[in-house]
A and B are shown apart, each in its own frame.
Chain A
Amino acid sequence: MATIINIKEESVLDVKDFQFTYAGNDAPSVNKTTMPIAKNSITALIGPSGCGKTTLLRCFNRMHDLYPDNRYDGEILFKGRNILQAKEDLINLRIQIGMIFQKPTAFPMSIFDNIAYGMRLQGMKNKTELQDRVEKALKDAAIWKEVKDRLKADANGLSGGQQQRLCIARAIAVEPEVLLFDEPTSALDPISTAGIEELVVELKDRVSIIIVTHNMQQAARVSDYTGFMYLGDLIELGKTEDMFVTPKEKLTEEYITGKFG
């Protein structure tokens, strides 16, 4: 049985007896898991490749629904409702729970249009309002200075680190309540990585964050809570500072001391 500490904050998401199975598989890829996700905090999910951390992350915005026949069991509670229900409005859910991917995903359009995209999807047409919101998002993502003179330029002309900030700006522009980061720095150089980490920490006052990372130092640097997963099981969820110093589970200890992984 996993060691799960109680979190002092209110939880934004509550995973209850949750299980996820990919289409065509008999065995689930995420086994019976129960865990709270703290509000306005950063929760990191760590573990060796194939442990199910990215799979779990993609359940929170029902990304698995894009591909047929994947199966969710149990509950994930968000604002008092189970978001795994068939009647869940996925468009609305994804507006409230944003996502940043392993690689920067600048859309084939201008920098401005990239940031405005999510707001336009929601029907915002007012030019000045759009401009204000785009500017604010770019400032919040600490990229405004670099791009303010070329908002009309193709977003694919930006560097990798800039593009990832652009994607963060695009995600926060629609003011989500939760942001999911799926190894956001795995394609970036160390300097860009440091910048993104700093940004993630700054964002937590406004959004609750879940970050999947294969980099334990990154989890230690940015997160408040860390969950360690292994072979589809959540082994331990604890306060980050405690977990890296005094892990409760043997498996966790072996992993963070580099005995496997």
Chain B
Amino acid sequence: MTHTTKRIIMNNIVMTLSTISAVIGMGFLFWILGILVINGVDALTWTIFSQEGAPPGYENSGLKHALIGQLLIVGAATVVGVPLGILAGTYLSEYGQKAKLAETIRDISDIMMSAPSIVIGAFVYAVVVAPMGHFSGWAGSIALTIIMLPIILRTTDDMLNLVPSTLREAAFALGAPKYKVIIQVVYRGAKAGILTGILLGVARVAGETAPLLFTSFNDNFLNTDMNEPMASLTVTMYNYATSPYEDWQKLGWAAAFILSMFILTLNILGKLFLLKKKGR
């Protein structure tokens, strides 16, 4: 057998193994997606949106409390986190640039993006929940804001960086002050990118469970007072899925389906925005 024949055989072996691993990997992942859709669609009814939680065994139980709680907690985190993140990202790209301080902030943010989120929950418990004496929707929002900040900051930084410097220089040459150049020229040029960053940031925190376990905690009934413990889809999923009651488990799957579809939609939208920008 010549050396080249050996190489070809080796090549075929490795390529087959690689294809098999791709099939195995995709198989597992589609399995998960499949059961998510089957169980989710099966459990999806109108009462899920119209009814609050109820003790196991009650017919009229839904996820209204968790959906509204989720909206409030993630919404508040977005309202606070997005402008802060964009401003901080603006500093990095437009003022700090390659300075040591800016580089340090970038490095720390990159690390924070992969840091364990449950630790953020512990931190917020110590500085918000413990002093207040009780869990609250606000505490959950604060935890999510902390997780969202570095994501928005780094995407904004990167996206502003893609705006050609000639564009800035042209605006400066017309005598515009820096903040106007940034707001009117740079932001406009990076609009699609910043929007993608926001969508991905929201998608990321919307799926967080661990940091909410001991901040917003849970509530089986509808509550819109963010000073009180509050239900979220993720914590509700966790509690219902680990309960021994079949109807609760079913609600858990419905929550998993709704949440996953929401997050996937945000991700797809984000990718489309970026594609559209590249196409131009």
Contacts and interface: CB of A to CB of B under 8 A. Distances in A.
A123 B3 CA distance: 5
Contacts of B6: 123
A121 interface: yes
Contacts of A121: 3-4, 7
A91 interface: yes
A122 B4 CA distance: 6
Contacts, number: 13
B10 to A, nearest CB: 12
B174 interface: no
A92 B2 CA distance: 12
B111 interface: no
A124 to B, nearest CB: 8
B67 to A, nearest CB: 45
Interface residues of B, number: 6
B147 to A, nearest CB: 38
Nearest to A124: B3
B22 interface: no
A122 B8 contact: no
A91 B3 CA distance: 12
Count chain A CB atoms within 10 A of each CB in B2, B4, B8 and give the residue with the most.
Answer: B4
Nearest to A125: B3
Nearest to A122: B3
A122 B5 CA distance: 10
Interface string B1-32: 01110111000000000000000000000000
Contacts of B2: 123
Q: Majority SS of interface residues in chain B?
A: helix
B52 to A, nearest CB: 55
Interface size class of A (residues with CB under 8 A): under 10
A92 B8 CA distance: 12
A123 B4 CA distance: 7
A76 to B, nearest CB: 22
B218 to A, nearest CB: 52
A91 B8 CA distance: 9
Nearest to B7: A121
A121 B8 CA distance: 11
A123 to B, nearest CB: 2
Contacts of A91: 4, 7-8
A123 B2 CA distance: 8
A21 to B, nearest CB: 25
Interface string B66-101: 000000000000000000000000000000000000
Nearest to B2: A123
Interface in A157-171: none
A139 B8 CA distance: 32
A143 to B, nearest CB: 27
B1 to A, nearest CB: 10
B143 to A, nearest CB: 44
Contacts of A123: 2-4, 6
Interface string A122-134: 1100000000000
A122 B7 CA distance: 9
A121 to B, nearest CB: 7
Interface in A89-117: 91-92
Contacts of A122: 3-4
A121 B7 CA distance: 8
A187 B115 CA distance: 44
A116 to B, nearest CB: 14
Interface string A66-104: 000000000000000000000000011000000000000
B3 to A, nearest CB: 2
A119 to B, nearest CB: 10
A122 B8 CA distance: 11
A231 B208 CA distance: 57
Interface in A20-36: none
Nearest to B4: A91
A214 to B, nearest CB: 28
B82 to A, nearest CB: 40
A91 B4 CA distance: 8
Nearest to B8: A91
A121 B3 CA distance: 8
A120 B65 CA distance: 68
Interface of A: 91-92, 121-123
Interface of B: 2-4, 6-8
12 contacts: A91-B4, A91-B7, A91-B8, A92-B4, A121-B4, A121-B7, A122-B3, A122-B4, A123-B2, A123-B3, A123-B4, A123-B6
Given A121-B3, A121-B4, A123-B2, 10 more contacts: A91-B4, A91-B7, A91-B8, A92-B4, A121-B7, A122-B3, A122-B4, A123-B3, A123-B4, A123-B6
**Top 5 closest A-B pairs, CB basis?**
A123-B3, A91-B4, A122-B3, A122-B4, A123-B2
